[in-house]
A and B are shown apart, each in its own frame.
Chain A
Amino acid sequence: MKFDVKVPLELKKAQTWFGSIISRPIDVNSNMAPISPSGRPMEQEACDFINPSPTLRPAQRVQLYNQQYWWRLLKTMQDAYPTVTRLFGYYDFNESLAVPFLVKYCPNHWSLNNLGDRFPQWVKEDYTQDNHELVYNAACIDCGYNTSFFAPDEPPLASPQQLEEGLESLFEVPLTFQKHISLYQFPYHLFQFRDQFLLQEPEYWVDNDFPVLQHAEGQQKYSFVLFRDALNQIIYKQIDTIEYDLLKRFENGETLNGLCEWLEKQVTDETILTEAMSNLHIWLQRWIGFCWLKRN
């Protein structure tokens, strides 16, 4: 549906100017940039569009909107990425991450829920400091919590009765995850770290040691699934590496038969294969019982 009510040209001109001014980053003292995008002093250019108030000059009045724009977006980013915010503290989070991210990906959707959707991708591509990996992983799990909060629940794959009768009827059906599920694998227990981290406000961690980040032994990794349970609580669960590998197969759609075939090809160690095959039934019951899977 499209209606085209003609836009008054003077209105569009004023709005285009106003939008270009208020979306430019403010400085560390929350001041507006003194020179406009056209190269003129803001104090001068604002007078072309805005009247003074009894107490404020036109540029000072526009600055209020410039500040509100940034404070609102930065607060939204801090709320959406609490772990990353704590890694940096408010100030550095804003300056090093949120502002450059929002300059590159300025909001263009009516919902603020989507504001930080591309933040992990931005960290991956544009943030190059030494702690890049930790920041990226933290961004991914913060993002996972947000996604899980808003994701719809699709109908369960099987009724309790079907579960009791057996899962044979589902073996050829392509399956994938519910949208509130996400999988993670890290060389450290980032979820436990996050739990501890979130007990204090970001400014606390500027002056205090971070919680201990427990590392896995040797080359091993911790595997996790993040999901929304039947009570709508978002929780994480540490899972076996083989269970992680198997679940990962569902990301792009997989049948249970296909999963078994893949498992047989992948696991060359007979002991591990036997253990995985014996656990598979339990895992399947859990995946379906927890409603993690849906038809693709």
Chain B
Amino acid sequence: MKKKHGIPNLGIGIGLRVPHYEEIFRDKPDIDWFEIISENFMIDGGKALENLHKILEQYKVVQHGVSLAIGSPDPLDFEYLKKLKALAKITKTPWISDHLCWGRLPGAHYHDLLPLPYTHEVIDYVAERARIVQDYLELPFALENLSSYVEFKQDEMPEWEFYSAVVEKADIFMMLDVNNIYVSSRNHGFNTKDYINNIPLERVLQIHLAGHTDHGDYVLDTHDNYVKDEVWALYAEVYSRTGGVSTLLEWDDNFLSFKQTWDEALRAKQFQKSIIMEMAQK
């Protein structure tokens, strides 16, 4: 597959989280890269920033945001974007990502990744804002698909069609979370193959992996467990079809040691190797 971008494959990374700092600073583990939650470091100073500078001395860092809330009905927050861009100058992140969601109303921030109605009007609205964000940041900008638990009455198309239309119209990129595809497929009753067969995989610049919690009637995206086999299977398929892109394991609760977390992330390498060997044999 021809990629839409010349963005490098950084290899395998994990999300930088506070419980791992001690091990990272002490052992300086040999890992490909870290992803940071941008908002945790969009601050004026203090201990958090000092920790980030120590990480940057040793590792490549990529920024991933949770608070842009691009589909919200209020104007884009350029004070926020200014801080995001300033942080990017410090981290030298090769791209910036956030979520295809909304999360704000005038006077309220819900601190959640809330799903949008999948309509043509909303595609136009979000794509225009995403284009502005990418232009402003002067870096490749990617939106991530959500784990979602509701579908709106207004929906005019399935999620993959909406997602594809937004990124193509805005000419931005996909941060594809394969765990989120699986979680949403269970919650909405769609086939994951329909999803990955109908999105422009050449626009994927990074893949997210994570664990989830299965409650039977629904599945929650909890990032507190090992990646499930069904998600690894989906990863293997997507990874090979993207031609190889940066892969990241998110783990945000019920933390394991850094080494155990890294071992779980390295399982991706096994899939990558077997895919490369399969391709070579063909």
Contact = CB atoms under 8 A, between A and B. Distances in A.
Interface of A: 1-8, 10-12, 14-16, 18-19, 22-23, 48-51, 53-56, 58, 61-62, 64-65, 68-69, 72-73, 106-113, 148-153, 180, 228, 232, 234
A48 B153 contact: yes
A5 B122 CA distance: 11
A18 B39 CA distance: 24
Nearest to B102: A15
B42 A64 contact: no
B151 A50 contact: yes
A68 B77 contact: no
Contact of A19 (B45, B110, B125, B152): B110
B235 to A, nearest CB: 25
Given A12-B73, A50-B150, A113-B43, A107 B109 contact: yes
A7 B188 CA distance: 27
A51 B42 contact: no
**Which of B42, B110, B129, B132 is packed against the most chain A CB atoms within 10 Å?**
B110
Closest 10 CB pairs of A and B: A152-B45, A110-B67, A152-B44, A8-B121, A55-B217, A1-B78, A7-B73, A54-B189, A150-B46, A12-B73
Nearest to A10: B154
Nearest to A180: B46
**Which of A16, A58, A61 is packed against the most chain B CB atoms within 10 Å?**
A61
A61 B149 contact: yes
B75 A4 contact: yes
Contacts of B164: none
A18 to B, nearest CB: 7
Contacts, number: 147
Interface in B47-79: 47-48, 50, 67-69, 71-73, 75-78
Given A72-B111, A151-B45, A16 B152 contact: no
Interface string B198-211: 00000000000000
Nearest to A63: B149
A19 B121 contact: no
A64 B220 contact: yes
**Which of B121, B149, B150, B220 is packed against the most chain A CB atoms within 10 Å?**
B150
A5 B39 contact: no
A8 B45 contact: no
B74 to A, nearest CB: 8
A110 B151 contact: no
A149 B50 CA distance: 11
B117 A150 contact: no
Contact of B187 (A1, A53, A109): A53
A55 B150 CA distance: 12
Given A22-B114, A53-B151, 20 more contacts: A2-B75, A3-B129, A4-B75, A12-B73, A14-B117, A15-B114, A16-B73, A22-B110, A48-B153, A49-B152, A64-B150, A65-B149, A65-B150, A72-B111, A73-B111, A106-B108, A108-B109, A110-B68, A110-B69, A110-B77
A183 to B, nearest CB: 19
**Which of B111, B117, B188 is packed against the most chain A CB atoms within 10 Å?**
B111
B119 interface: yes
B255 interface: no
B3 to A, nearest CB: 29
